[in-house]
Structures are given as C-alpha cells and as structure tokens.
Amino acid sequence: MSQLPKTPRSPAECLSAELLQEVVLGRTTRDLDLDFRLAQTLSGSIWRTIDGGHKWMHYFDIYDREFSRLRGTRPKVLEIGVYQGASLKLWHKFFGEGTMIVGVDIDPSCAKHTDPDRRIFVETGSQADPDFLARVLGTYGKFDLIIDDGSHVVSHQIASFNHLFLDGLKDGGIYWIEDLEGNYWEQGHRDMEPTTVDLFKYLVDLQHAVYRGTNYQDFHLTGPTRRDEFKVPRLATLVDRITFQRGVIIVDKAVQSPPLGVHI
Ligand SMILES: C[S@@+](CC[C@H](N)C(=O)[O-])C[C@H]1O[C@@H](n2cnc3c(N)ncnc32)[C@H](O)[C@@H]1O
C-alpha cells in the first residue's frame, strides 16, 4: 500500500502537471459579435438597451441562470453600487413590474436615480458602515436578493456580508458579490487578508462543519450512537449553496434551518 504523504501538500501540488501546464489566453473580443452574444440572454438583451454601465460579458449568462427564479415574483432587491443607475434599470426590467429595488451608494449624487413610481429607491452611505446598513434594513426590511457591486474593496465586501447576510436576506434568498478581480491585485482593493475569496472558501468548510469529529453512526437513524445534537456555527445552518464563478461569488441562504442530520 502506498504511504500517505506525511507533510501537508498545497492544493496545487495535488494536481497533475498537465492540468497545471501554462496556456496562453488570447484576446476574445476582436471578432466577437457582442450584440449577438448579448441577445442570447435576457439580462444581456436588456443591458444592450441601457446606457451608463459596464459589465463583464460572461455575467449575463450567470444572471439569467441564478436570478430567473425571482422573475415575476415582485422580489425585493438590494444593490450596493449605483453609479449611473444602469443596473437599477436592468433589474427593474429583468424582474418585472412590482419589483422593489433599493440601491445604496456612498456618492450622494446617485440619489437622483430614485424613482418611486418604479419602486426604485437610493440611499446614501457606505457599504462598510454597519449603522447605515442597519438603517436601510430598518426602513425596507429583508431582501430576496442582495447584490454587492460597490467599492470592490475586500474589507468592504466582507463587512457588508457580515452585516447583511443574517439580518438582511430572507431565507431562500440570494447573496451575490461581483467583480472579485481586486482580490488578486496587490494594491488598492486587496486591503486585507484573508481576502473575500479566501473567506468564502472557508465558508465551504463551515458548510460542512457538522461532519467535523463525527462518523456515519452519529447520523444513522438506527445507529447505536446516533446523536441528537450537533454543535455548529450558526452560519453553517444558513448556507445552502456556495457558487464560485470567475469574478463572482453566490451564496444561497438555506430555507430549512437547522438542516436535518439524518443519514438513512
Ligand atoms: C461599479 S459601480 C456600480 C455599478 C452599477 N451597479 C451598475 O452596474 O450600473 C460602483 C459604485 O460603488 C460606489 N461605492 C464606492 N465605494 C462605496 C462604499 N464604500 N459604499 C457604497 N458604495 C460605494 C461608487 O460610488 C460607485 O457608484
């Protein structure tokens, strides 16, 4: 039998040389029919009619896939980062009549994008300010979808998640962080470690916390040592699904909390 390695290995050391071989990425936009590509998705086909914004092209596939289940349900959406109001218009059209959208932005000039007739409201403050976020939740209650497209500063992304995921998102809701590129740039946005990406990788371990120090018998209905109680961090009961896609983290908040620890 082969010996298990005694010293811990980094994840990269566990991958084959072929998988780690460097490849060259070319430019992709030169010959691409962007209009055609945008028209392939609902969110993209709306986006091409709106001025004043810019987004990574591949987000539109993900928006369609992740957000479609909220269309036509009159969801409440909180978006951090208003800029010129383009995405507020996108969400209004994408989710349909009756959707309530609350934008927050540190720039007071963004307040002009408030449009009560369309149930679009803009609040001025920082995504890293817990008192401001608490006031927003006090005014509007919990949301079905929270989108962080604000400063893209690591400490801000983490502060917003800490203040909004528990108290600001409904059970079954979606927490979305976009533009993670700054996590990989040495200066500016990456102002602390662990980064946002590191933290959500750790969240995958928290999601599995109930398995720490247990075995199958602890969960088995008829097992001799079936346990009735498992101690896990609260967050472990709130996270249903964590999705990483390039530049984006999506966390679905669990509907059932705490999860049933039954193995049959
Ligand atoms: C990428 S833009 C938002 C784009 C918009 N979501 C769109 O797609 O049209 C980022 C916005 O975040 C705002 N911002 C920067 N720092 C912030 C902070 N600490 N809190 C809230 N908003 C912030 C900026 O003023 C800017 O308007």
Biggest CA-to-CA distance, the chain:
71
Domain extents in the chain: 33-191+242-253
pLDDT for the residue numbered 41: 97
Among protein residues, the one with the nearest Cα to ligand 1's atom 19 is: 126
Render pLDDT for 176-217 as a digit per residue (tens, 0 to 9). 999 999 999 988 999 999 999 999 999 999 999 999 999 888
pLDDT for the residue numbered 228: 83
**Low-confidence spans in the chain with pLDDT less than 70:** 1-6, 27-31, 256-264
Which pTM does this prediction carry?
Answer: 0.94
The whole-angstrom separation of Cα 101 and Cα 121 is 6
pLDDT for the residue numbered 229: 85
User: Domain 33-191+242-253 is in which class?
Assistant: alpha beta
Q: Is 214 exposed, middle or buried (0-12, 13-18, 19+ CB in 10 A)?
A: middle
Average pLDDT, the chain: 92
Among protein residues, the one with the nearest Cα to ligand 1's atom 17 is: 151
Ligand 1 binding pocket mutation candidate from 106, 120, 181 (most atoms within 8 A of CB): 106
Atom of ligand 1 nearest to the CA of 126: 20
For 236, the enclosing helix (H) or strand (E) is helix 234-238
